[in-house]
């Protein structure tokens, strides 16, 4: 495809996306087609001869788009948001066009340096502790997801626990990882990948009301393990848990980790973004105790997946744990010691130029624009929670410090499951569920920049309607 | 950013990329600016108020583009290619615009099903063994890189070696991984991440001429380990090693793995793409023995990074090893057992809609178009190798079955290092190096669709010129 052919086809694809966004509110949020529908409509083998872009775009509109869950839809309230934005898409487009592979500084100097600066910009925007800035021993890097950030933190913690010998001798099954019963499943998955198995993970109980990790229980677990000859290696604390956005108390957890010499990773995948607003930084109190920290701009900061921002306080330790240097990657810049080679900060070797989308987002919105976005989400969630609170049929199940509201019909689980199915079947909105202290609970998470009071009110109206027909009068 | 604002800015970015590609041949392939140049030119903190896209594009052209290594340049001959193409960029653009998160079938049905079909299309295009097709127990998935594919294969192998108990009890330090001394560094890194340490990896010697793994040495190592009470868990064979594109002999290695019950992963990251051409499928002889296999469409198949295609023969085993199912991800489709949830096939939870770029590439080029691209690369490499062969000052260091030529000035390493530095300093071409049997060796890898005979001949002319001034007359 020549540059001129690309130019023409590129306009058509830009038009397709602009039209898709403009028509999103009219589309059902989810597809109702059964499994196998798309696969059945595609040819069993690739074409022998090439086809024009127009033919592909036609099939995109006909076969693919109607069978998606529309994550950018203003009525999408499921999981956590994963919202993108125009500037993010454009930054990613530039990245795709440049086709730079940033495994080493030498394979893309601007790719590396822009990333370092963007992570410093983010640290500034969130007012993160000085220890994470690149001006000192710390620094940040883009991972694909918080799952990978947790895995990397786990590996560095194991390396430290082994006195720096983990790289050679492997994992010791006596190492233990601590996280709350409400933590994300990626903590267990990281421990599994690292060779600790689920046996290596201690799930610490939470406060029954706040759903936040109990520091007392954490201390007791660490002490019991030490007494049993086991080695506490890592605590993963969460700022904004997936179920209910609970905030683990870092001011208490931090000193415990410091006291027992345990690596502390803080996972703020969803809620970290809120810290662009000074009034929403409460979750970061005590963050100066953390050895590593991450949040996902790809969740609530208008940056398309994948973009997890991950910082460590000691980049030397990180690199020591993960570095590999085969002959074919040796180069003068690496050997000078004056550059960052981000391949040593992550699991894969290769990497895309993901800093561009952050650069486009941070510059196009400015910090004030991002604050406005976060505040709008928090206000819309509060508006919805007010509706729930005012209706005796419903109860709020947990605090809603950010933009997620957890609620349910009072009483048994059955009508709640039925309610969720009915509401989602309308195609107007999409909510998901969790269990809080064993009880089936509905989750409404606000995130899309297209979501307004109208959409939140419509969600509430649909919920009330479904509740009226689902529960006995 | 409204859809209409996006449309206008999108055209501008498309123009920027088309112009970038059109002017690539005139740009120096690499930047000569010292470390820190880009960082020094960027503000220390993000803007408070937003800025227009035009301002960002201006800085993109001024600050970023001149400080890149241009991987898409027709004079880029370094490492392995990582070439993208117009259709790939457009498919990726659609993916960014849709902003779908495909962790579950339910969170993007078309995202999941298109991926399954694309991996079957690729298996068909490469004529992979039936065991990897989704019609049976096998199936494919997109990983970000071959590094991650190797890691996933390692985890499944450990799970199998532990009789399915690895998930719970963790890794046993007696497990051993076997790969050749020429294998990619990601094999050692995967073993390290999985908790085996470098002590858990056996580097098997290679044939001194072909640089391919010695089956005799592999068998001996497995037997010695078994006799010592260790547990052979995984063999990673390579089709097209990074140094010299050596091909490990699967027809001999496969039966050894089968005989000792060892998991066999085949890493064809670079060379796999060549198998779209029937006459270049020799490296896949014996592939029916493999438990898993991967290659990178993002290297030599005109698909932008990140796109590693990874297949396993037994998807049930893979899912068992990697699955996690917290309450908040439960849904009717998953519980029906009728769908694939790709989160269970990889390390991270979230995932982008990467099948779109494959769909665009496979349809726009057609299989014949991709064959033409591969054949052109092989022919250009052969043309270059002929020049080397005809010049007594130089020697070819290894066979060149694909599109990489390994060569050097006869004699000591010093003049070769000097030669590489001089040639790269011209800014017209970019080559990298390796060591073959300890000797410093230059690598010229052809991959860009923009590369023609003119560029290869220019590379040779520059090399001859530099050689004339670098070596004594």
Inspect the interface and report whether the beta carbons of A328 and B368 lie closer than 8 Å: no
Hey, what's the torsion of the CAs at B437, B439, B445, B451, to 10 degrees? -160
Chain B residues close to A335, C-beta within 8 Å:
none
When CB atoms are compared, the residue of A7, A121, A243 closest to B46 is A121
- Give the closest residue to B312 by CA, choosing from B87, B470, B159: B159
- The DSSP secondary structure of B218-239, one letter per residue, reads HHHHHHHHHHTT-EEEEEEEEB
When CB atoms are compared, the residue of A39, A51, A351 closest to B117 is A39
Inspect the interface and report whether the beta carbons of A56 and B360 lie closer than 8 Å: yes
Inspect the interface and report whether the beta carbons of A147 and B99 lie closer than 8 Å: no
- Helical H runs in A127-174? 146-161, 166-169
Find all residues with CB under 8 Å of A8, minimum gap 6, and list them: none
Q: With respect to residue B84, please indicate whether it lies within any of the assigned structural domains.
A: no
Give the CATH number, domain containing residue A424.
Answer: 3.90.1150.10
Q: Is B142 helix (H, G, I), strand (E, B) or coil?
A: strand
What is the layout of strands, in order, in the sheet containing A394-396? A394-396, A404-409, A439-445, A432-436
Q: Give the CA radius of gyration of chain A.
A: 24
- The DSSP secondary structure of B28-56, one letter per residue, reads -SS--PPTTHHHHHS-SS--SS---HHHH
DSSP state at residue B72: T
Q: Are residues B185 and B229 in the same domain?
A: yes
Q: Is B394 helix (H, G, I), strand (E, B) or coil?
A: strand
Inspect the interface and report whether the beta carbons of A110 and B48 lie closer than 8 Å: no
- Å between A64 CA and nearest CA of chain B: 6
Q: Are residues A263 and A318 in the same domain?
A: yes
Q: Which residue of A has its CA nearest to B338?
A: A35
Q: Which residue of B has its CA nearest to A170?
A: B197
CB of B272 closer than 8 Å to CB of B297: no
Q: Are residues A329 and A369 in the same domain?
A: no
Q: With respect to residue A87, please indicate whether it lies within any of the assigned structural domains.
A: no
- Give the closest residue to A443 by CA, choosing from A455, A453, A451, A434: A434
Domain finish residue from A352, A375, A390: A352
Q: With respect to residue A272, please indicate whether it lies within any of the assigned structural domains.
A: yes
DSSP state at residue A177: E
Chain B residues close to A17, C-beta within 8 Å:
6, 10, 93-94, 97-98
Inspect the interface and report whether the beta carbons of A93 and B65 lie closer than 8 Å: no
When CB atoms are compared, the residue of B82, B110, B304 closest to A67 is B110
Q: Is the pLDDT of residue B373 over 80?
A: yes
pLDDT at A325: 87
Chain B residues close to A84, C-beta within 8 Å:
96-97, 99
When CB atoms are compared, the residue of B68, B169, B347 closest to A151 is B347
Residue with tokens 């054949």: B375
CB of A353 closer than 8 Å to CB of A95: yes
- The DSSP secondary structure of B292-353, one letter per residue, reads EEEE-HHHHSS--SS-EEEEES-HHHHHHHH----GGG--HHHHHT-S--GGGGSSSS----
pLDDT at A470: 65
- Give the closest residue to A68 by CA, choosing from B344, B94, B144: B94
When CB atoms are compared, the residue of B51, B185, B328 closest to A243 is B328
Chain A residues close to B10, C-beta within 8 Å:
10-11, 14, 17-18, 86, 89-90, 93
Q: Are residues B109 and B169 in the same domain?
A: yes
CB of A332 closer than 8 Å to CB of A104: no
Q: Which residue of A has its CA nearest to B67?
A: A110
Q: Are residues A210 and A342 in the same domain?
A: yes
Give the CATH number, domain containing residue B175.
Answer: 3.40.640.10
pLDDT at B328: 87
- Give the closest residue to B160 by CA, choosing from B370, B278, B330, B316: B316
Choose from B38, B72, B105, B113 for mutation: most chain A CBs within 10 A: B113
Q: Give the CA radius of gyration of chain B.
A: 24
pLDDT at A471: 54
Q: Which residue of A has its CA nearest to B42?
A: A117
Give, for B139, the enclosing helix (H) or strand (E): strand B139-143
Inspect the interface and report whether the beta carbons of B368 and A325 lie closer than 8 Å: no
- Helical H runs in A348-440? 355-389, 414-425
Domain finish residue from B287, B321, B352: B352
- Give how far Cα B120 sits from Cα of A100, B140, B308, Å: 28, 7, 14
Residue with tokens 């390396």: A159
Q: With respect to residue A21, please indicate whether it lies within any of the assigned structural domains.
A: yes
Q: With respect to residue A78, please indicate whether it lies within any of the assigned structural domains.
A: no
Chain B residues close to A81, C-beta within 8 Å:
none
Q: What angle do CA B54, B357, A185 make, to 5 degrees?
A: 95
CB of B131 closer than 8 Å to CB of B313: yes
Q: Are residues A340 and A365 in the same domain?
A: no
Q: Are residues B410 and B463 in the same domain?
A: yes
Token pair of A39 as six digits = 């696969």
- Give the closest residue to A349 by CA, choosing from B82, B189, B259: B189
Inspect the interface and report whether the beta carbons of A109 and B198 lie closer than 8 Å: no
Residue with tokens 């809080």: A436
When CB atoms are compared, the residue of A46, A109, A348 closest to B148 is A348
Token pair of A302 as six digits = 């208008």
Neighbours of B4 (CB within 10 A): 11
Q: With respect to residue B48, please indicate whether it lies within any of the assigned structural domains.
A: yes
Find all residues with CB under 8 Å of B63, minimum gap 6, and list them: A110, B38, B41, B42
Inspect the interface and report whether the beta carbons of B85 and A1 lie closer than 8 Å: yes
Q: Is B107 helix (H, G, I), strand (E, B) or coil?
A: coil
When CB atoms are compared, the residue of A21, A85, A148 closest to B348 is A148
Give the CATH number, domain containing residue B28.
Answer: 1.20.1340.10
Inspect the interface and report whether the beta carbons of B97 and A21 lie closer than 8 Å: yes
d(CA B115, CA B133): 12
Token pair of B111 as six digits = 């995202």
CB of A443 closer than 8 Å to CB of A296: no
Q: Which residue of B has its CA nearest to A194?
A: B194
When CB atoms are compared, the residue of B9, B243, B363 closest to A90 is B9
Choose from B58, B305, B309 for mutation: most chain A CBs within 10 A: B305
- Å between A302 CA and nearest CA of chain B: 11
pLDDT at B325: 87
Q: Are residues B321 and B368 in the same domain?
A: no
Question: In 3-state terms, chain B is what percent helix, strand and coil (to 5)?
Answer: 50, 15, 35
Chain A residues close to B148, C-beta within 8 Å:
347-348
Chain B residues close to A109, C-beta within 8 Å:
31, 33, 35, 37-38, 67-69
- Å between A206 CA and nearest CA of chain B: 17
What do you get for the CA distance between the two ends of chain B, in Å? Answer: 64
Tell me the residue length of chain B. 473
Token pair of B468 as six digits = 């004339």
Pairing of strands A263-267, A231-238: parallel
Token pair of A133 as six digits = 């800035």
Inspect the interface and report whether the beta carbons of A16 and B125 lie closer than 8 Å: no
Q: Which residue of A has its CA nearest to B442?
A: A328
Q: Is B76 helix (H, G, I), strand (E, B) or coil?
A: strand
Chain B residues close to A185, C-beta within 8 Å:
324-326, 329, 349
Helices B86-98 and A3-23, packing angle to 10 deg: 10
pLDDT at A183: 96
When CB atoms are compared, the residue of B18, B21, B99 closest to A72 is B99
d(CA B412, CA B408): 9
Q: Which residue of A has its CA nearest to B158?
A: A195
Q: With respect to residue B230, please indicate whether it lies within any of the assigned structural domains.
A: yes
Q: Mean pLDDT score of chain B, rounded to an integer?
A: 97
Q: Are residues A202 and A294 in the same domain?
A: yes
How many folded domains does chain A comprise?
3
Inspect the interface and report whether the beta carbons of B50 and A365 lie closer than 8 Å: yes
- Give how far Cα B229 sits from Cα of A37, B175, B217, Å: 51, 10, 19
Inspect the interface and report whether the beta carbons of A71 and B107 lie closer than 8 Å: yes
pLDDT at A473: 43
Q: Is the pLDDT of residue B473 over 50?
A: no
- The residue range of the domain holding A225 is 100-352
Q: Please, which residues bridge with residue B308 across strands?
A: B143
Hey, what's the torsion of the CAs at B150, B155, B161, B167, to 10 degrees? 180
CA B406 to chain centre: 19
Domain finish residue from A326, A352, A378: A352
- Å between A52 CA and nearest CA of chain B: 6
Inspect the interface and report whether the beta carbons of B47 and A362 lie closer than 8 Å: yes
Chain B residues close to A371, C-beta within 8 Å:
none
Q: Are residues A336 and A416 in the same domain?
A: no
pLDDT at B469: 81
Find all residues with CB under 8 Å of B354, minimum gap 6, and list them: B92, B95, B115, B142, B306, B307
Chains A and B: how many Cβ contacts under 8 Å?
Answer: 498
CB of A140 closer than 8 Å to CB of A134: yes
Q: With respect to residue B25, please indicate whether it lies within any of the assigned structural domains.
A: yes
Chain B residues close to A98, C-beta within 8 Å:
17, 20, 65, 68, 71-72
Per-residue pLDDT of chain A (473 residues; tens, 9 = 90+): 999 999 999 999 999 999 999 999 999 999 999 999 999 999 999 999 999 999 999 999 999 999 999 999 999 999 999 999 999 999 999 999 999 999 999 999 999 999 999 999 999 999 999 999 999 999 999 999 999 999 999 999 999 999 999 999 999 999 999 999 999 999 999 999 999 999 999 999 999 999 999 999 999 999 999 999 999 999 999 999 999 999 999 999 999 999 999 999 999 999 999 999 999 999 999 999 999 999 999 999 999 999 999 999 999 999 999 998 888 899 999 999 999 999 999 999 999 999 999 999 999 999 999 999 999 999 999 999 999 999 999 999 999 999 999 999 999 999 999 999 999 999 999 999 999 999 999 999 999 999 999 999 999 999 999 999 865 54
- The DSSP secondary structure of B256-275, one letter per residue, reads HHHHHT-EEEEE-TTGGGGG
- The DSSP secondary structure of A266-335, one letter per residue, reads EE-TTGGGGGGSGGG-GGGTTGGG-SEEEE-HHHHSS--SS-EEEEES-HHHHHHHH----GGG--HHHH
Q: Are residues B47 and B157 in the same domain?
A: no
Token pair of A332 as six digits = 């003068």
Q: Is the pLDDT of residue B411 over 70?
A: yes
Mean pLDDT, residues B19-34:
96
d(CA B278, CA A464): 62
Q: Are residues A403 and A464 in the same domain?
A: yes
């Amino acid at each position: 495809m020549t540059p001129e052919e690309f130019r023409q086809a590129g306009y058509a694809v830009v038009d397709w996306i602009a039209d898709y966004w403009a028509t999103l509110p009219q589309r059902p949020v989810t597809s109702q087609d059964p499994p196998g529908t798309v696969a059945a409509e595609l040819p069993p083998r690739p074409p022998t001869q090439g086809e024009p872009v127009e033919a592909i775009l036609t099939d995109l509109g006909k076969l693919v788009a109607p069978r998606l869950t529309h994550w950018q839809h203003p009525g999408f309230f499921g999981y956590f948001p994963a919202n993108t934005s125009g500037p993010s898409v454009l930054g990613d487009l530039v990245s795709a066009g440049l086709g730079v592979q940033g495994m080493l500084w030498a394979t893309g100097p601007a790719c590396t340096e822009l990333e370092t600066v963007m992570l410093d910009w983010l640290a500034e925007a969130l007012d993160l502790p000085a220890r994470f800035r690149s001006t000192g021993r710390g620094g940040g890097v883009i991972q694909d997801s918080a799952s990978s950030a947790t895995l990397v933190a786990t590996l560095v913690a194991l390396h430290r626990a082994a006195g720096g010998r983990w790289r050679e001798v492997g994992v010791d099954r006596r190492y233990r990882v601590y996280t709350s019963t409400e933590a994300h499943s990626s903590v267990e998955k990281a421990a599994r990948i690292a060779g600790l198995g689920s046996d290596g993970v201690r799930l610490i109980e939470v406060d029954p009301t706040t759903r936040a990790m109990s520091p007392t229980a954490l201390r007791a677990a660490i002490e019991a393990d030490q007494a049993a000859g086991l080695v506490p290696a890592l605590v993963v604390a969460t700022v904004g848990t997936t179920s209910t956005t609970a905030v683990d108390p870092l001011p208490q957890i931090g000193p415990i980790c410091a006291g027992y010499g345990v690596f502390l990773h803080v996972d703020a995948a969803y809620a970290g973004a809120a810290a662009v607003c000074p009034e929403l930084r409460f979750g970061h109190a005590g963050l100066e105790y953390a050895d590593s920290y991450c949040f996902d701009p790809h969740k609530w900061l208008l940056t398309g997946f994948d973009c997890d921002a991950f910082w460590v306080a000691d980049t030397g330790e990180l690199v020591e744990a993960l570095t590999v240097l085969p002959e074919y990657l040796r180069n003068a810049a690496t050997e000078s010691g004056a550059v960052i080679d981000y391949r040593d900060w992550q699991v894969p070797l290769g990497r895309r130029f993901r800093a561009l989308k952050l650069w486009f987002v941070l510059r196009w919105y400015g910090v004030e624009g991002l604050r406005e976005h976060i505040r709008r989400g928090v206000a819309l969630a509060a508006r919805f929670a007010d509706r729930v609170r005012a209706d005796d049929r419903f109860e709020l199940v947990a605090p809603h410090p950010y933009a997620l509201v957890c609620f349910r019909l009072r009483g048994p689980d059955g009508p709640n499951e039925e309610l969720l199915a009915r509401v989602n079947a309308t195609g107007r909105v999409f909510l998901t569920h969790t269990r809080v202290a064993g009880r089936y609970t509905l989750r409404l998470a606000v995130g899309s920049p297209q979501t307004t009071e109208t959409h939140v009110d419509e969600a509430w109206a649909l919920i009330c309607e479904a509740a009226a027909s689902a529960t006995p009068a």
